[in-house]
Amino acid sequence: MSTVEQVPPQGSADESTENAIELREVAGLSQGQIVRRRFLRHRGAMVAIVVLTLVVILAFSSVGIGGWTGWWLFTPNEINVVINGGKPTLLLPSWLGGDAGLWFHWGLHPFGQDEIGRDVFARVMRGTQTSLIITATVGIVATGVGIFVGALAGFNRGRTDDILMRVTDLVITMPVIVIGAVLGQLAGGNNPLIFGAFLGLITWTTLARLVRGDFLTLREREFVDAARVAGASNSRIMFKHMLPNAIGVIIVNTTLLMSSAILLETALSYLGVGIKAPATSLGLLISQYQEAFSTRPWLFWWPGLMIVIIALSINFIGDGLRDAFDPRQKRIPSERKMAKAMSVDGSVARSMSSTVAPSNQIGNAGMGPS
């Protein structure tokens, strides 16, 4: 910000007034900084990021990964003595309507135990881990394929476009669940990475079409012509000039794709064609415990709760990113803030003599639709 003040544009003093007011909000910031600033202001997305980070940390640190066992007492497949019918020992504090006094009471098996005594907390954490890995893999693979196909089709148009888009259409026409089932059968089982990669290979279509659409409009922009006249090669134009301008669409859709990926994984595992025991995932947990719905409902709650938390967080982050990248999204400042700024700012004290009664401001003339 400070650099702006240092360099008063010489010889163009009268040119700088144009759009001056609208530009004040973005003065001295690069495109990336503007986006970051808008994103950081999005309260929902910020909360979601915190929640998601906590979930990730919890899932990976509690039961560990690979050779590392984590800090939790039990491992997911360890069979223990069933205590108190396996009921959760977690008690809510009194301010949440529970009877644990001032703070949570954890106990030995906070999420309870299943019928053969396995610790549900450990199982849910492992399942969350698997689901998160799958989600991330799907995101990476689908984004890569989607960008590649979409960019090629949008940039080259004509034949390439026709062929690539027909292939995309073909993939879209096939029901994801069916293909997922087949691929899952072939590649699923124990390895979430392979399973995620295969899911990624059938979910890239939306992104490919969006990137193609973006590239089609971008290639008509004059800066692309300018780059071509400057002698830039096709790949330079695509990667240096067009891709950064399409990044908004890509990031936003990747997050949304990831939140649907976790639901897809759940659905496939529930149907029994995804991750298989002894590995576990949230969908598989729900599927395994569905008979116990009436007798041990907690077996059902926890994986469901995790799915909802993860999917919601990712969606909120996607929302925040979309708002941040969309130049048309202008924050409408709150009435209170505006009124406060007006009373603080002495230079506009005359504005206080507005004919608009302060109590009656909403929906008044001179303010546009509220």
Partner 1 sequence: MAIDTTDAVPAGAPARTPVLSVRDLGVDFYVDGTWYPAAIGVSYDVFPGEVLAIVGESGSGKTQSSMSLLGLLPANGRANGSAKLGERELLGMSQQRLRQVRGKEIAVIFQEPMTALNPVYTIGFQIVETLRTHFDIGPKDARARALELLRLVEIPDPERRIDSYPHQLSGGQRQRAMIAQALACDPKLLIADEPTTALDVTVQAEILKLMRDLRTRIDSGIVLITHDMGVVADLADKIIVMKDGRVVEEGSSIDIFTAPTHPYTIKLLEAVPHLGRSADVLAAETSDTSDTSDTSDTTTADRPVEPVVAPETAQDVVLEAKDIVIEYPGRRRQPAFRAVDGVSLTLRRAEVVGLVGESGSGKTTIGRAVVGLLPVTSGELRIVGQDMVGATLKDLKPLRSKVGIVFQDPGSSLNPRLPIGESIGEPLLLHRGLKGAEMSRAVERLLDQVQLPRAMRNRYPHELSGGQRQRVGIARSLALEPQLLVADEPTSALDVSVQATVLELFQDLQREHGFACLFISHDLAVVEMLSDRIAVMHNGRLVEIGDAAQVVNHPRDTYTQRLLAAVPVPDPVAQQERRLTRDALLEAQRDELERAEIARAEQLTDASEKADLDAHDVLDQEGGHTTGRGF
Binding residues for partner 1 (CB under 8 A): 3, 6-12, 14-31, 221-223, 225-232, 236, 241, 244-245, 330, 332-333, 337-338, 341-342, 345, 348, 350-351, 353-357, 363-370
Phi, psi of 242 (to 5 degrees): -90, -45
CB of 214 to partner 1, least distance (A): 13
Q: How far is the CB of 144 from partner 1 (least distance, A)?
A: 21
Min. distance of Cβ 191 from partner 1 in angstroms?
A: 38
Pick 116 or 230: Cβ nearer partner 1? 230
CB atoms within 10 A of CB 84: 12
120 Cβ partners below 8 Å, 6+ apart? 86, 88, 109, 111, 112, 113, 114, 298, 299, 302
Pick 14 or 99: Cβ nearer partner 1? 14
Tokens encoding 189? 């089982």
Burial of 206 from C-beta contacts in 10 A (0-12 / 13-18 / 19+): middle
Instruction: Kindly state the smallest distance separating residue 300's Cβ from partner 1, in Å.
Output: 46
Shortest approach of partner 1 to residue 229 CB, angstroms?
5
CB of 322 to partner 1, least distance (A): 18
Amino acid at 55: V
What count of other Cβ atoms lies within 10 Å of the Cβ of residue 305? 13
Measured over the CA atoms of residue 288, residue 293, residue 295 and residue 300, the dihedral's sign is positive
Would you tell me how many other CB atoms lie within 10 Å of the CB of residue 187?
16
The DSSP bridge partners found for residue 189 are: 275
Q: Which is nearer to partner 1, 173 or 334 (CB)?
A: 334
Quote the CA–CA distance of 324 and 333 in Å, as a whole number. Answer: 15
Closer CB to partner 1, residue 4 or residue 170?
4
Q: Give whichever of 173 and 370 is closer to partner 1, judged by the CB atom.
A: 370
Residue closer to partner 1, measured from CB, 18 or 99? 18
> Closer CB to partner 1, residue 156 or residue 185?
156
Phi-psi region of 46 (alpha: psi -120 to 50; beta: other; left: phi over 0): alpha
CA-to-CA separations, 188 to 130, 184, 274, 276, in angstroms, rounded: 12, 4, 6, 7
> What is the smallest separation between the CB atom of 37 and partner 1, expressed in angstroms?
10
